Amino acid sequence: MRLLTTAAKALALSAAAVLGCASLASASPAGSPAGWRVVGKTSVANSISGEGITTLRLPGQAPQLVYRNGTTIPQALKDEGWGHVGDPDSLRGYTFDVYQDTVTNPPASKMYLVTSPSGETTEFVHPLQPGEPAANANAQVAVTPDGQWLVSGALGDATQLYVSPTPFLNRRAPRVAGDLPLAARIHLDHTVRSAQGCDFVSPARLLCATSDSTDDLYPTSYQLLQVDLPHAVTGHDLTAHVKELGQLPLSSTCSGAFTPEGVDYDPPTGTLRVEVVPPAPCNTVTDVYSLRRR
């Protein structure tokens, strides 16, 4: 097994730093998508945030909010050519990060970095298959509630999500560093544009935040999308129904383009968190909105 202990230390430091920033929380009124209400807003420094968010629960420890940003990428991974990190997810103490190849042109692979509860990290590279986009191939990843499958997606106009077995949690997945196979595809019945973050809120439902600033696909821009599967992911192809729940909460003293990023759903608390980077010059922080079901 290839263990990147330096990377593990860097990732742990980024997680610990988040707790200090979380003390800046202050509630702020904002619009709420259908079925959800905004209950709080936190501003986190963009030195550690702005690409993704997940709740990490380690045995015997308080839950941690872990953020991702380009500056949190360990140097060892940058040296290998992994130059962009997407929205992560976490389950059973494992953290799953997704990386894009920003060196090879055109990219031929993407990478999943798995951090174990003990802090050891292992790389799983996925060679792109026919039909998988090369540009921005790994924008986000979500692990199914049963821990068996990783569901990831790309930026741009997308009509599919990609399913792979979850390393260490699924017997079909490799347990040592190496290639991670593609098990299935989730076909979307409506195009999704620039889904920056997704997470499961039930075994057969994902919520995704987009940075789509237009309204040609859906009635509003910057959508919170609900992706309903016919049943839980089983490693076989599925067709999912996409529904817009409305515009994401957007609130800033600066005017201009917002950039929604990571999405996190924490089942024990029922809290949905969405990252939104405000327009310049307010984009030195990432606003994190907390939502609860109505």
Q: Retrieve residue 123's tokens.
A: 């790389």
Reported as type and span, the H/E element at residue 8 is helix 5-22
The residue among 112 and 129 whose pLDDT is bigger is 112
Per domain, the residue ranges of the chain are 5-293
Amino acid at 207: L
Asked whether the predicted pLDDT for residue 36 surpasses 50, the reply is: yes
Quickly state the pLDDT bin for 131 (edges 50, 70, 90).
Answer: confident
What is the full DSSP assignment across 202-220? ETTEEEEEE-----SSSSS
What are 54-102's pLDDT values in tens digits?
Answer: 999 999 999 999 999 999 899 999 999 999 999 999 999 999 999 999 8
Name which of 167, 120, 119, 161 is nearest 138 in CA terms: 161
Number of alpha carbons in the 13 Å side-chain half-sphere of residue 36: 28
Quickly state the pLDDT bin for 32 (edges 50, 70, 90).
Answer: confident
CA distance 227 to 279: 28
Asked whether the predicted pLDDT for residue 5 surpasses 50, the reply is: no
Q: Retrieve residue 99's tokens.
A: 């990386």
What are 150-172's pLDDT values in tens digits?
Answer: 999 999 999 999 999 999 999 99
Beta bridge partners of 188: 240
> Is residue 144 within 8 Å of residue 200, measured between CB atoms?
yes
Q: Are strands 285-293 and 36-45 parallel, antiparallel or unpaired?
A: antiparallel
Asked whether the predicted pLDDT for residue 7 surpasses 90, the reply is: no
CA distance 243 to 254: 30
Query: What's 5-293's CATH class?
Result: mainly beta
Quickly state the pLDDT bin for 3 (edges 50, 70, 90).
Answer: very low
> Is residue 66 within 8 Å of residue 10, measured between CB atoms?
no
Instruction: Average the pLDDT over 238-252 and give the result.
Output: 97
Asked whether the predicted pLDDT for residue 255 surpasses 50, the reply is: yes
